Every structure is written in structure tokens, then in C-alpha cells.
Structure 1
């Protein structure tokens, strides 16, 4: 069920000497001569605003669209799709059938896609009413999804180090890219957010987000998210999982599974964050 409690950010190595390969192993990058790779910029989070968040929401997907915040929550018998103003109770909420475990979402104009984890289907919904329109067969596990509008394609994750590109109508695979940092795979990619050619991905089950060039798959930024919750709040919360770009700004909304708060943030250089 992908339940894992928060890993302290101090225990999560930045892309300096090691990288998660997706199977739990950590590989050293020394001795990789003759290989050209993108520079990985160390980043951190600057909190702009703190907002309330439903502490019963097992957040799996988060996206801003149409001036509203859309959120998908998981767990069998507790999965929902909801929308409303950030920091306010949902104005609309639809529960999924008990057998479905909801995962990532992305809004595409008048409709949205909601993935399921291991149920083998993706659900297309009316973005205004949240009504289910149809179900489409989905091969493999569903984790995160976002829409690259300028390329008119979906980008999906399945917990590995791959991003898969899909047709926006049929969800058929149209290609994929391996995500690497200095030539090494970056695994456990989870919830996604597309911003132009950049994909931001939560790395499960850590306090870390990676910034990925979707064309090459190279990680160009490693965002170490500091402890945003108090020790008491963290005892009742699970992992960071939920990133939504705020349209018209360079800011993002961040939250997590069973988090009592949501944070409006900007990503800044790690050096600036210490100042």
C-alpha cells in the first residue's frame, strides 16, 4: 500500500556521491570517466504561506487548474477526487468504489485523468462536475501523471526510474525516458507536475523532489525539502507527496499523505536557503 513514514531530510543524500537506483540500492558515481551529464543544482524550499490541509487525506495527486485545486486521495474504501480553494474544505468531492486505490491526477481542459495503483484502469472525469465519464485499461502500476500541454502528451510514473509518455486520449505508450542524475538511475518516482519541458517528481518515500528535463531524462535540480511539520504533526503523518504549480507564478503548493498543512513555496538555491 506504499505506506512509509517520513524520512528525515538529513538522512537523504543530495546528488553528490550516491543515487537511488529504484531497487533500494545506492550506487557510487566515482570512476565514471568520459560521461557527460547535466549539472544537478542543489535547491531547497522557501515557505511563502502555510495553509490548512485535511489530515485524513492520503494525498496521491495535486494540481491547480481552472482557478481551483484538484486533489486525488488513495487507500481502498477511502479514495476520492476533490476540488476547491487551497486551504479550504473541498467544494466538491466524489468517492471512488471501495475496490479502487486512487493515484495521480492531471487536468486537461474540460476533463481530467485519475490513475489507480494496481486496479488496471485509469478514470476519465468531467473536470467541472468530477463525474466519471469512462474507464480505460491501464497496464502496470499507476503512480503519478501530468500533462505536457505544448506537446499534448501525458507523462506517467510507476515507481521506477522511468517516465512514460502516453497518448492523451487512449493512454497508449508513445515513448519513455530513463531518469538519471549524472548517469545513474533515479528510482521511486512518484507524484508528478509538468511545467513546460520540466517535470517535477516526488521521490518516494523521502523529503525530496527532483527537477527533470523530460527530453533527456536528466535531473537538473535536487530539492531537499526541510521539515515542514512539527515533530508532533509528523507522528500522525506519512510521506511528502503532492506538488502543484501555481499558475502565473514560480511558486508551488506542497503537501503529503495525512498532512494537516499545505505549504505555498518557492524553490531557491540551497546556498540562498541558508541565508
Structure 2
């Protein structure tokens, strides 16, 4: 076969038609070289840092929860869930998953992202244009404010709220009045980074789930530039995939460089560290 190939290539080259067909075969690389090529593919914007979610500990999660928002404060995990007729806000024990308090939204409201601001919690709704302010201790509703457009993700950076609406836009809001006070368009290597979903403000960054994917973006809120992409794929074992929905839900663990992440109707949460791939 090798001799036949050489003869054929000689004929083709003599005719000037074998330059591509007879080019030397490039050996396939393995290990780290393959990973580097993958990391620099279209989905990861060339030279952008590519991180992976390294699992430190697996935590229990109620798989009936259609997770929309996740946040940790003072050892309590707060989780907002969605779907009409099933939306709720829970305060649970992070280690055991035991529900400490829970409130349900009216059936006409589809719950979305949440965030803690001191002794309050803000909870978004999807298309109803209503944000609910709650008492953090009791989860009782204190008031409602209206906003235009859709509500997806929400986080608090210590001075302002950051909100997503499923587009490439992050809107900044006053944590008391909920009025918009600015915003930024998010770009991944010059391209709009759309479908930004659940958010977490941590370490001066905004971390964003991308709806329908297993990527988490690290965003500079000053410029809107994506500064790293986290690959959070492969967390669930194949046997646990049945009946689950997309990755969604990210909460920074205070005082550490770790996060808790999960997905809609997932049976587990994962305490992770975002390390270089």
C-alpha cells in the first residue's frame, strides 16, 4: 500500500494536482497538546484563559428544584426556583440540604435569580416585570417593584445590583430602589456573549452561567470583557442525567476561592474550585 501510494503521488505531483493529496500526514497529538488546541477553539476565544471546575465535595440537592438563583450567606444556602405554580425561595443548610425556611410565589409568577443585600433578599421574576424584596430571616415579602424586560440572573457586588435578562447586557441597579444606574454590554473576543443567565458577584468579577451550555463566563464589570471561560461539563454521572435540565446556579463560598454550582432538577450540587485547565 505504501509503495502504491508513492507511485500515485509521483504521478499526481508530475501533473501538478497532488500538492494537497500527497502532503505529509500530520501526526495526531495527544494529552496536553490536544487540550490546548481545544481550549483555543471557537468556543473559548483563542487565548482567553480556560478554566475547569475541579470538584472538592458533592452536596445533596433537591432534584425537584428548577434552580434559577443560588447564593450563600452566613452559612445558609438560599435558592430561588422557577416555573409557574412551582416557584419558591428556600433557605437550606448547605451541608445537609435540610430546608430551614421556604416561601412559595403566587402561581402567576415565574421565579428567577436572587441575591442577598444585607438583611434583604431580592428575587426576580421572568416575564412578569416584578422584583420582590424579602426579609432575609423570614423570607417574608416586604414589597414589589416593577422593571421593564425580562429578569434572569441577579447578584450584588457590595454597592450595586447586577442583573441579566438573557441578552448580552448586564444592567446595574440601585440595591434600595432597584432603579437602573447603568450597564455594560458583554463581549467574548469582540463577539456579544448572549443568553447570560444566573449571576454571581465575587472577587471583583461577575460570573455568569450561559443558558443552554456548560460554560461559565468570568466578566470584568467595568469593561464588559469576558476574562475567562470555565468548562463545567461532566459534573453529573451519566446515570444521574435522566430528568435533569441545564447547568444553572452558582454561589461563591464566602472567605474562600470556591463556588457551589448545580443545575435545574439536578440531584447534586458541587463545591468546586475554578483551576486552570
Do the structures match in fold with TM over 0.5? yes
Residue aligning to 1:22: none
Provide, for residues 139-179 of structure 1, a one-character-per-residue CA deviation record: whole Å limited to 9, x for no partner. Answer: 11000000010xx1100000001111111112111111111
Does 2:89 correspond to 1:81? Answer: yes
Deviation at 1:89, TM superposition (A): 2.2
Provide, for residues 170-201 of structure 1, a one-character-per-residue CA deviation record: whole Å limited to 9, x for no partner. Answer: 21111111111111111110000001420000
Residue from 48, 67, 73 that aligns with 2:56: 48
Q: Structure 1's 181 and 15: CA in aligned 2 closer, same or farther, altered over 3 A?
A: farther
CA distance in 1, matches of 2:155, 2:244: 25
CA distance in 1, matches of 2:48, 2:154: 23
| Unmatched runs of 5 consecutive residues or more in structure 1 | 1-9, 20-28, 31-38, 271-275
Deviation at 1:109, TM superposition (A): 0.7
Give structure 1 regions of 4+ aligned residues with deviation exceeding 4 angstroms.
Answer: none
> What does residue range 104-143 of structure 1 map to in structure 2 within 5 Å?
104-143=113-152
CA distance in 2, matches of 1:14, 1:161: 22
Alpha carbons 1:161, 1:186 under 8 Å: kept: yes
CA distance in 2, matches of 1:17, 1:105: 32
Deviation at 1:18, TM superposition (A): 4.9
Does 2:262 correspond to 1:255? Answer: yes
Q: Which one has the largest radius of gyration? A: 2
Q: CA RMSD in A?
A: 1.7
Secondary structure in 2 matching 1:91: strand
How many residue pairs get aligned? The number is 240
Higher RCO, 1 or 2 (CA under 8 Å, sep at least 6)? 1
Residue from 217, 221, 244 that aligns with 1:210: 217
Alpha carbons 1:155, 1:163 under 8 Å: kept: yes
Residue aligning to 2:10: none
Q: Which protein is richer in helix relative to its size? A: 2
CA distance in 2, matches of 1:155, 1:82: 21
Deviation at 1:232, TM superposition (A): 2.4
CA distance in 2, matches of 1:172, 1:197: 22
Does 2:122 correspond to 1:97? Answer: no
Secondary structure in 1 matching 2:240: helix
